[in-house]
Amino acid sequence: MPDYHLTDAAVRPDPSAWHQAPRRLLLLATGGTIASQSSANGLVPTVNIDALLKYCRSALQHYDVTARSILQLDSSNIQPEEWRLIAGAIVREADQYDGIVITHGTDTMAYTASALSFMLPGITIPVVLTGAQLPISHPLSDATENLATALAMAARGPAGVFIAFDRQVILGTRAVKVRTTDFHAFESINYPLVGYVNGDGLQTDPALAPHSSAPFRLMDQLDPAVFLLKLTPGLNPDFFVLLQHLQYRALVIEAFGIGGIHYLHRDLLEGISQIIAQGIVVVVTSQCLYERSDFSRYETGQRVLDSGAIPAFDMTSEACVTKLIWILGQTRDPWQVGRWFRQNLAGELAGPLTDPAHWGQAD
């Protein structure tokens, strides 16, 4: 059995278990359900990295794995500050490993994966996030299976940021958590799976991962002044005045259906036009998970576009929010923000991929 160490834990494989030199992988632990134990106040991420490794020996034995704990948080507490810490750890280590696995809580995993996709342009190795719906110490936990998929993807998959969960691999900018307790917690929205596990092992389609000719670099400046609003019938237009007072710089609106916002009785379009005139960027998407929004279809949607709002097309809300947080970290000029947002930077938007060397430049 491999040895475990309290810090910078490492698991060295049995060479006879692999037909070629084992891949060097880095496992970064951040907490989450996978590392949680019961307490008087509910589940708390308290399992240390050594215990985590001991629970998943079979998944680790085929790789040369080094593991470090960089956070020990419930993912509800992982915010842009933690995204920067995780991204920094990846950049410092990327050239020493063939792939990186990040254990993470499921509640905000899709946000973290999407944010890292924008923060790590030109990444040259797979970065794979995973976690569990049950703690790894639970006898029926899905943790070991999810880790096995993530390790396989990190070892042999294409470069990029991904989520591995329930024997599936999803592009980081296309993942959404859709179930609270079922093991099939994540789905790939408006995009094919990058990989899946079957009787022949891990199957991947490298063509579905973003490709770049630009040098890998860290772009970790973020501005979290982005608000996400789910539209409801009867919303008070005075809400938009409040946004200005709270100094938000961008608003994502989940509109109705394929794209519509009400203007009778309570004119939301006037409020949207006013905050856009004040320099707040407004992006409109759909409350529906699947298929693209199209604000040109109905008169109510066309009025939204006439107000100056930017359509999100087939992007997820998670991608919209994290993309704006990241873009605002690069520029606060509303016109420039709109130009960056309309580009397909990391596979989050249908259409030709914009090479990181040209991010933000005119289409």
Q: Return the active site residues.
A: 33
Residue 53, Cβ neighbours under 10 Å: how many? 23
The single residue listed with the structure tokens 């509910």 is 42
Instruction: Spell out the residues 6+ positions from residue 304 whose beta carbon is closer than 8 angstroms to its own.
Output: 255, 259, 260, 261, 269, 272, 284, 295
Instruction: Tell which residue, 175, 47, 166, 153, has the closest CA to residue 100.
Output: 153
DSSP conformation class of 235 = -
Tokens for 334, please give them. 């509303």
What is d(CA 246, CA 293) in angstroms, rounded to the nearest whole number?
28
Q: What value, to the nearest 5°, has the Cα angle with vertex 238 and ends 235 and 239?
A: 65
The structure tokens listed for 145 are: 């299976």
Which segments within the chain are labelled E, that is strand? Answer: 9-11, 24-31, 36-37, 44-45, 64-73, 99-103, 126-130, 160-165, 168-171, 175-177, 186-188, 195-198, 201-204, 226-230, 250-255, 281-286, 310-311
Token pair recorded at residue 76:
């509800």
Distance CA 295, CA 37 (A): 47
Helix or strand (DSSP H, E) at 111: helix 109-119
Residues 6+ apart with CB under 8 A from 13: 2, 22, 60, 61, 62, 63, 64, 65
